[in-house]
Amino acid sequence: MKKTLRVVVVDDSPLMRKLLTSIINAEPDMEVVGAAPDPLAARELIRTLSPDAITLDIEMPRMNGLDFLDKLMRLKPTPVIMISTLTGAGSDTALRAMELGAVDCVAKPRDLQRGLREAGEEIIEKLRMAAGARLSLRQPRAASPSVAKPLPVIAGVSSNIMHTRLIAIGASTGGTQALQTVLLGLPAEMPPIVVVQHMPPAFTQPFANRLNGICALTIKEAEHGERLRPGHVYIAPGDYHLALEREAGHLCCRLLATERVNRHRPAVDVLFHSIAQLSAKRTVGVILTGMGADGAQGMLAMKQAGAYNLAQDEDSCVVFGMPKEAVRTGAVDEVLPLDAIAAGILRQLRE
């Protein structure tokens, strides 16, 4: 079988380069076509070889991995998977990498010999996904966004709706930026919004904090048993499913450490199925960019129970997998480009 996915490995550790090369070359459809100890050496390899995907460390000599990623996405956008110790403990750094254009991140294990081989399946899966990701030229780095000014209340949305409706959003690969785009387009006065974004445990709290600092809405990591409130966004914590339950007439968060669903925890399907059983007629469902099919069956259950569902279109997705599956199952009422989804949500609230 011809090797169809060509990878360049960038890491200052000779052992890491050797192990990653071994893991990738063991796959029948991919091969490492070049390996570099630092970004300056990598630059020449990438220019010459035009790889389909790159693995990139963060802490390296001669140039920081984030600085290199920023330059790469502005000059020659190429799918990048960050593999670094900082992507685990330094979740803020990993989030910054995804803001700069990395498709996804994998935490580098402390015991490389043993841990990296255990993480091999995840690395291979993410490289295959990254190779098919949609990328665009990144504009020169802008100043960090300031706190957003509260948007005006949208005409035609009554205060009663804030307490009786619900927005439910699912996302995966590319979702950190997609969610930011959607939430920045919504005013402070909104019904409760519940979100499942596929993320490791250390990532969701910093992610919620970052969004809370720039959006009009109040955004937080969901807590077990807390009651949903208007104007708030609740993000499922990494490694816990988020479901909703009704208690004393109010919708509340329920966090579950049960088995993975669709290989994920949190899983979008868990949240969507719980809504289908409780309050789907008052729900607007949204499925954003992501690999796989998580959320499709749950969104279908919501639609069958009366929800109105939106999906991000293929052209604006980093990976069209999750929206594509939701559309295929008949779960979606409307397909919209990313920058029209916030308006689509508000339109449904008016109606």
Q: Which residues are known to be catalytic?
A: 172, 198, 294
The burial class, CB within 10 Å (0-12 / 13-18 / 19+), for 104 is: buried
Distance CA 30, CA 6 (A): 6
* Contacts of residue 165, Cβ cutoff 8 Å, sequence gap at least 6: 191, 282, 283, 284, 349
Residue 164: both structure tokens together: 């009786």
Pairing of strands 283-287, 166-171: parallel
**Three-class SS state of 63:** coil
Q: Is residue 189 within 8 Å of 162, Cβ to Cβ?
A: yes
Q: Is residue 172 within 8 Å of 290, Cβ to Cβ?
A: yes
Instruction: Give Rg (Cα) of the chain.
Output: 21
Distance CA 287, CA 302 (A): 12
Q: Is residue 93 within 8 Å of 167, Cβ to Cβ?
A: no
What torsion do the CA atoms of 275, 278, 282, 283 make, to the nearest 10 degrees? Answer: 0
Nearest Cα neighbor of 312 from 63, 295, 280 is 295
- Reported residue count of the chain is 351
Residue 133: both structure tokens together: 């990701």
Distance CA 239, CA 179 (A): 19
